Amino acid sequence: MDLIINLVINGLATGMLIFLLASGLTLIFGLMSVLNFAHGGLFIWGAFTGVWAYQTSGSFTLGIGVAIVTGLVLGVITEKLIVRPVYGNHIQQILITLGFMLVLQEFIKVVFGPNQKAVFPPAFLEGSFIVGDIVFIKYRIFIIIVGLLVFMVASYILRRTRIGLIVRAGVMDKEMIQTLGVNIKVIFMSVFMIGSALAALSGMLHAPYSGVIYAEMGLEFSILAFIVVVIGGMGSFTGSMLAALLVGLAQAFMAYYFPALSLAVNMILMTIVLIFKPQGLFKVEGGAR
Protein backbone atom coordinates (compact mmCIF):
# COMPACT_ATOMS: atom_id res chain seq x y z
CA MET A 1 0.00 0.00 0.00
CA ASP A 2 2.84 2.40 0.90
CA LEU A 3 4.37 1.76 -2.47
CA ILE A 4 1.15 2.55 -4.32
CA ILE A 5 0.68 5.78 -2.36
CA ASN A 6 4.24 6.85 -3.04
CA LEU A 7 3.88 6.09 -6.74
CA VAL A 8 0.67 8.11 -6.80
CA ILE A 9 2.40 11.06 -5.10
CA ASN A 10 5.31 10.86 -7.55
CA GLY A 11 2.89 10.70 -10.44
CA LEU A 12 0.82 13.62 -9.16
CA ALA A 13 3.92 15.78 -8.60
CA THR A 14 5.24 15.09 -12.11
CA GLY A 15 1.74 15.61 -13.47
CA MET A 16 1.41 19.00 -11.76
CA LEU A 17 4.72 20.19 -13.23
CA ILE A 18 3.61 19.11 -16.70
CA PHE A 19 0.22 20.72 -16.08
CA LEU A 20 1.83 24.09 -15.25
CA LEU A 21 3.72 23.94 -18.54
CA ALA A 22 0.84 22.56 -20.60
CA SER A 23 -1.88 24.85 -19.23
CA GLY A 24 -0.24 27.93 -20.74
CA LEU A 25 0.35 26.10 -23.96
CA THR A 26 -3.26 24.98 -24.26
CA LEU A 27 -4.67 28.45 -23.52
CA ILE A 28 -2.29 30.02 -26.05
CA PHE A 29 -3.31 27.45 -28.65
CA GLY A 30 -7.00 27.68 -27.83
CA LEU A 31 -7.20 31.46 -27.89
CA MET A 32 -4.65 32.32 -30.53
CA SER A 33 -4.32 29.11 -32.58
CA VAL A 34 -0.60 29.42 -32.03
CA LEU A 35 1.59 26.32 -31.90
CA ASN A 36 4.26 27.67 -29.60
CA PHE A 37 7.25 25.35 -29.67
CA ALA A 38 9.26 28.02 -27.84
CA HIS A 39 7.25 27.26 -24.70
CA GLY A 40 9.95 24.89 -23.46
CA GLY A 41 12.45 27.74 -23.77
CA LEU A 42 10.45 29.70 -21.23
CA PHE A 43 10.51 26.63 -18.97
CA ILE A 44 14.32 26.49 -18.96
CA TRP A 45 14.71 30.25 -18.61
CA GLY A 46 12.40 30.13 -15.61
CA ALA A 47 14.48 27.30 -14.18
CA PHE A 48 17.88 28.93 -14.72
CA THR A 49 17.03 32.50 -13.70
CA GLY A 50 14.99 31.29 -10.72
CA VAL A 51 17.73 28.94 -9.55
CA TRP A 52 20.33 31.68 -10.02
CA ALA A 53 18.28 34.05 -7.81
CA TYR A 54 17.61 31.28 -5.29
CA GLN A 55 21.23 30.22 -5.02
CA THR A 56 22.55 33.79 -4.98
CA SER A 57 20.16 35.10 -2.35
CA GLY A 58 19.34 31.91 -0.51
CA SER A 59 15.64 32.74 -0.84
CA PHE A 60 13.54 30.13 -2.63
CA THR A 61 10.59 32.52 -2.72
CA LEU A 62 12.71 35.14 -4.48
CA GLY A 63 13.77 32.44 -6.95
CA ILE A 64 10.12 31.72 -7.75
CA GLY A 65 9.44 35.45 -8.13
CA VAL A 66 12.37 35.93 -10.50
CA ALA A 67 11.30 32.91 -12.57
CA ILE A 68 7.77 34.30 -12.92
CA VAL A 69 9.04 37.76 -13.91
CA THR A 70 11.38 36.15 -16.45
CA GLY A 71 8.41 34.26 -17.89
CA LEU A 72 6.32 37.45 -18.13
CA VAL A 73 9.11 39.40 -19.86
CA LEU A 74 9.98 36.59 -22.26
CA GLY A 75 6.28 36.14 -22.93
CA VAL A 76 6.00 39.75 -24.11
CA ILE A 77 9.11 39.38 -26.29
CA THR A 78 7.95 36.07 -27.76
CA GLU A 79 4.45 37.30 -28.53
CA LYS A 80 5.48 40.67 -29.97
CA LEU A 81 8.57 39.74 -31.95
CA ILE A 82 8.22 36.07 -32.76
CA VAL A 83 4.56 35.05 -32.83
CA ARG A 84 2.66 38.19 -33.86
CA PRO A 85 4.10 38.32 -37.39
CA VAL A 86 3.00 34.73 -38.07
CA TYR A 87 -0.54 34.67 -36.67
CA GLY A 88 -2.74 32.43 -38.79
CA ASN A 89 0.11 30.48 -40.38
CA HIS A 90 0.85 27.23 -38.54
CA ILE A 91 3.79 26.16 -40.67
CA GLN A 92 5.58 29.47 -40.09
CA GLN A 93 4.66 29.30 -36.39
CA ILE A 94 6.21 25.86 -35.99
CA LEU A 95 9.39 26.89 -37.81
CA ILE A 96 9.91 30.22 -36.08
CA THR A 97 8.98 29.09 -32.56
CA LEU A 98 11.12 25.96 -32.87
CA GLY A 99 13.96 28.19 -34.05
CA PHE A 100 13.39 30.54 -31.14
CA MET A 101 13.32 27.56 -28.76
CA LEU A 102 16.81 26.62 -29.96
CA VAL A 103 17.99 30.23 -29.61
CA LEU A 104 16.67 30.34 -26.03
CA GLN A 105 18.30 27.00 -25.29
CA GLU A 106 21.70 28.02 -26.67
CA PHE A 107 21.51 31.41 -25.03
CA ILE A 108 21.13 29.66 -21.66
CA LYS A 109 24.57 28.15 -22.26
CA VAL A 110 26.01 31.57 -23.10
CA VAL A 111 24.60 33.20 -19.96
CA PHE A 112 24.77 30.36 -17.41
CA GLY A 113 27.41 28.10 -18.94
CA PRO A 114 27.04 24.77 -20.73
CA ASN A 115 27.22 22.51 -17.67
CA GLN A 116 24.39 20.98 -15.70
CA LYS A 117 23.58 22.61 -12.39
CA ALA A 118 22.70 20.81 -9.21
CA VAL A 119 19.75 22.23 -7.26
CA PHE A 120 18.45 21.25 -3.83
CA PRO A 121 15.14 22.09 -2.23
CA PRO A 122 15.15 24.86 0.38
CA ALA A 123 15.62 23.72 3.98
CA PHE A 124 11.92 24.11 4.84
CA LEU A 125 10.94 21.77 2.00
CA GLU A 126 13.73 19.26 2.40
CA GLY A 127 13.20 15.77 3.78
CA SER A 128 9.96 14.00 4.53
CA PHE A 129 7.27 13.48 7.10
CA ILE A 130 5.44 10.36 8.15
CA VAL A 131 1.70 9.86 8.48
CA GLY A 132 0.86 6.43 9.81
CA ASP A 133 3.28 4.15 8.05
CA ILE A 134 3.57 6.26 4.96
CA VAL A 135 6.51 8.54 4.19
CA PHE A 136 5.67 11.74 2.35
CA ILE A 137 8.44 13.70 0.61
CA LYS A 138 7.82 17.35 1.45
CA TYR A 139 8.89 18.87 -1.87
CA ARG A 140 6.58 16.60 -3.87
CA ILE A 141 3.64 17.53 -1.66
CA PHE A 142 4.60 21.17 -2.12
CA ILE A 143 4.51 20.81 -5.93
CA ILE A 144 1.11 19.11 -5.77
CA ILE A 145 -0.26 21.94 -3.59
CA VAL A 146 1.13 24.66 -5.89
CA GLY A 147 -0.30 22.88 -8.96
CA LEU A 148 -3.71 22.54 -7.31
CA LEU A 149 -3.67 26.19 -6.22
CA VAL A 150 -2.81 27.37 -9.74
CA PHE A 151 -5.55 25.15 -11.16
CA MET A 152 -8.14 26.43 -8.68
CA VAL A 153 -7.23 30.11 -9.11
CA ALA A 154 -7.09 29.86 -12.90
CA SER A 155 -10.36 27.89 -13.01
CA TYR A 156 -12.01 30.49 -10.79
CA ILE A 157 -10.79 33.31 -13.05
CA LEU A 158 -11.86 31.49 -16.21
CA ARG A 159 -15.30 30.54 -14.89
CA ARG A 160 -16.31 33.28 -12.52
CA THR A 161 -14.82 36.56 -13.69
CA ARG A 162 -15.67 38.69 -16.71
CA ILE A 163 -12.07 38.55 -17.93
CA GLY A 164 -12.29 34.76 -17.76
CA LEU A 165 -15.52 34.84 -19.72
CA ILE A 166 -13.83 37.02 -22.33
CA VAL A 167 -10.92 34.58 -22.65
CA ARG A 168 -13.28 31.61 -22.97
CA ALA A 169 -15.45 33.46 -25.47
CA GLY A 170 -12.34 34.57 -27.37
CA VAL A 171 -11.21 30.96 -27.65
CA MET A 172 -14.58 30.10 -29.21
CA ASP A 173 -14.95 33.05 -31.59
CA LYS A 174 -12.23 35.69 -31.84
CA GLU A 175 -14.14 37.78 -34.35
CA MET A 176 -17.37 37.95 -32.37
CA ILE A 177 -15.67 38.93 -29.13
CA GLN A 178 -14.10 41.94 -30.90
CA THR A 179 -17.48 43.09 -32.14
CA LEU A 180 -18.56 43.18 -28.48
CA GLY A 181 -15.93 45.85 -27.84
CA VAL A 182 -13.06 43.69 -26.60
CA ASN A 183 -9.51 44.48 -27.68
CA ILE A 184 -8.41 40.96 -28.49
CA LYS A 185 -4.74 41.95 -28.87
CA VAL A 186 -4.58 42.93 -25.19
CA ILE A 187 -6.23 39.65 -24.24
CA PHE A 188 -3.82 37.71 -26.49
CA MET A 189 -0.84 39.42 -24.90
CA SER A 190 -2.11 38.88 -21.35
CA VAL A 191 -2.81 35.18 -21.94
CA PHE A 192 0.58 34.77 -23.59
CA MET A 193 2.29 36.40 -20.62
CA ILE A 194 0.41 34.31 -18.07
CA GLY A 195 1.07 31.13 -20.04
CA SER A 196 4.76 31.99 -20.23
CA ALA A 197 4.91 32.78 -16.51
CA LEU A 198 3.33 29.39 -15.72
CA ALA A 199 5.94 27.69 -17.92
CA ALA A 200 8.73 29.53 -16.12
CA LEU A 201 7.21 28.66 -12.72
CA SER A 202 7.06 25.03 -13.80
CA GLY A 203 10.77 25.17 -14.73
CA MET A 204 11.72 26.67 -11.37
CA LEU A 205 9.68 24.11 -9.40
CA HIS A 206 11.10 21.29 -11.50
CA ALA A 207 14.70 22.22 -10.63
CA PRO A 208 14.84 20.99 -7.00
CA TYR A 209 12.46 18.12 -7.92
CA SER A 210 14.84 16.59 -10.44
CA GLY A 211 17.93 17.88 -8.61
CA VAL A 212 19.62 19.01 -11.78
CA ILE A 213 18.90 21.46 -14.61
CA TYR A 214 20.35 21.62 -18.11
CA ALA A 215 19.56 23.59 -21.24
CA GLU A 216 18.15 20.68 -23.26
CA MET A 217 15.43 19.81 -20.75
CA GLY A 218 13.17 22.49 -22.28
CA LEU A 219 12.69 20.53 -25.48
CA GLU A 220 12.06 17.29 -23.57
CA PHE A 221 9.37 18.92 -21.44
CA SER A 222 7.90 20.73 -24.46
CA ILE A 223 7.18 17.40 -26.09
CA LEU A 224 5.54 16.14 -22.89
CA ALA A 225 3.45 19.29 -22.69
CA PHE A 226 2.31 18.91 -26.31
CA ILE A 227 1.32 15.30 -25.65
CA VAL A 228 -0.72 16.48 -22.66
CA VAL A 229 -2.40 19.23 -24.70
CA VAL A 230 -3.35 16.72 -27.41
CA ILE A 231 -4.67 14.17 -24.89
CA GLY A 232 -6.61 16.77 -22.91
CA GLY A 233 -8.14 18.45 -25.96
CA MET A 234 -6.42 21.41 -27.57
CA GLY A 235 -7.60 24.55 -25.82
CA SER A 236 -9.12 22.82 -22.80
CA PHE A 237 -7.72 23.99 -19.46
CA THR A 238 -9.44 21.27 -17.41
CA GLY A 239 -8.43 18.73 -20.05
CA SER A 240 -4.78 19.68 -19.72
CA MET A 241 -4.99 19.17 -15.94
CA LEU A 242 -6.52 15.70 -16.23
CA ALA A 243 -4.20 14.68 -19.07
CA ALA A 244 -1.12 15.90 -17.17
CA LEU A 245 -2.10 13.87 -14.11
CA LEU A 246 -2.79 10.87 -16.32
CA VAL A 247 0.63 11.17 -17.98
CA GLY A 248 2.37 11.75 -14.63
CA LEU A 249 0.70 8.74 -13.01
CA ALA A 250 1.27 6.50 -16.03
CA GLN A 251 4.95 7.45 -16.04
CA ALA A 252 5.36 6.80 -12.31
CA PHE A 253 3.69 3.37 -12.40
CA MET A 254 5.32 2.28 -15.65
CA ALA A 255 8.76 3.33 -14.42
CA TYR A 256 8.31 1.03 -11.44
CA TYR A 257 6.49 -1.96 -12.90
CA PHE A 258 7.58 -1.91 -16.58
CA PRO A 259 10.69 0.30 -16.78
CA ALA A 260 11.27 -0.59 -20.41
CA LEU A 261 7.91 0.97 -21.31
CA SER A 262 8.23 4.12 -19.19
CA LEU A 263 9.41 6.30 -22.07
CA ALA A 264 6.86 4.93 -24.52
CA VAL A 265 3.87 5.20 -22.21
CA ASN A 266 3.05 8.81 -23.15
CA MET A 267 3.05 8.02 -26.84
CA ILE A 268 0.89 4.94 -26.20
CA LEU A 269 -1.57 7.04 -24.20
CA MET A 270 -1.71 9.69 -26.91
CA THR A 271 -2.21 7.08 -29.62
CA ILE A 272 -5.08 5.45 -27.71
CA VAL A 273 -6.78 8.81 -27.10
CA LEU A 274 -6.34 9.88 -30.73
CA ILE A 275 -7.86 6.61 -31.98
CA PHE A 276 -10.93 6.75 -29.74
CA LYS A 277 -11.29 10.51 -29.16
CA PRO A 278 -9.43 12.37 -31.90
CA GLN A 279 -10.29 15.74 -30.35
CA GLY A 280 -8.88 14.77 -26.97
CA LEU A 281 -10.54 13.83 -23.70
CA PHE A 282 -12.37 17.16 -23.60
CA LYS A 283 -13.90 18.02 -26.95
CA VAL A 284 -13.39 21.73 -27.37
CA GLU A 285 -15.88 23.77 -29.33
CA GLY A 286 -13.30 26.46 -29.52
CA GLY A 287 -11.81 26.23 -26.17
CA ALA A 288 -10.98 26.83 -22.61
CA ARG A 289 -13.20 25.20 -19.99
Partner 1 sequence: MMSSLLSVKNVEAFIQQYHILHDISLEVQSGEVTVLLGRNGAGKTTTLRTIMGLNKVSKGDITYNGEQIINEQPYRIANKGIGYVPEDQGIFGELTVGENMRVAVKKEDERTTKRMEWILDLFPDLKKYWKKQGGQLSGGQKQMLAIARAFVNENDLLLIDEPSKGLAPIIVEKVTESIQQMKEHATILLVEQNFQMASNTGDHFYIIDDGQTVLNGKMNELQENQELKRKYLGIL
Residues that bind partner 1 (CB under 8 A): 162, 165-166, 168-169, 172-173, 175-184, 285-287, 289
- Taking the alpha carbons of 183, 173, 84, 235 in that order, is the dihedral positive or negative? positive
Residue 79: count other Cβ atoms within 10 Å of its Cβ: 24
What's the residue count for the chain?
289
Work out how close the CB of 174 gets to partner 1 at its nearest, in angstroms, rounded to a whole number: 10
Work out how close the CB of 233 gets to partner 1 at its nearest, in angstroms, rounded to a whole number: 12
How many DSSP H helices and E strands does the chain contain?
11, 4
Residue pair 75/196 in contact by the 8 Å Cβ criterion = yes
Helix (H) or strand (E) holding 130: strand 128-131
Nearer to partner 1, 65 or 286 (CB): 286
Beta-carbon contacts of residue 161 (< 8 Å; ≥ 6 apart): none
Strand partners, 117: 213
Nearer to partner 1, 133 or 175 (CB): 175
Alpha-carbon gap, residue 222 to 18, rounded angstroms: 9
Nearer to partner 1, 94 or 182 (CB): 182
Work out how close the CB of 122 gets to partner 1 at its nearest, in angstroms, rounded to a whole number: 41
Beta-carbon contacts of residue 205 (< 8 Å; ≥ 6 apart): 17, 20, 64, 143, 146
Closest CA to 22 of 266, 244, 252, 205: 244
Nearer to partner 1, 115 or 179 (CB): 179
Work out how close the CB of 240 gets to partner 1 at its nearest, in angstroms, rounded to a whole number: 16
Residue 276: count other Cβ atoms within 10 Å of its Cβ: 8
Work out how close the CB of 185 gets to partner 1 at its nearest, in angstroms, rounded to a whole number: 8
Work out how close the CB of 32 gets to partner 1 at its nearest, in angstroms, rounded to a whole number: 16
User: For residue 142, what are the CA distances in angstroms to 18, 165, 203?
Assistant: 15, 30, 15
Work out how close the CB of 176 gets to partner 1 at its nearest, in angstroms, rounded to a whole number: 4
Tell me the longest C-alpha to C-alpha distance in the chain. Answer: 60
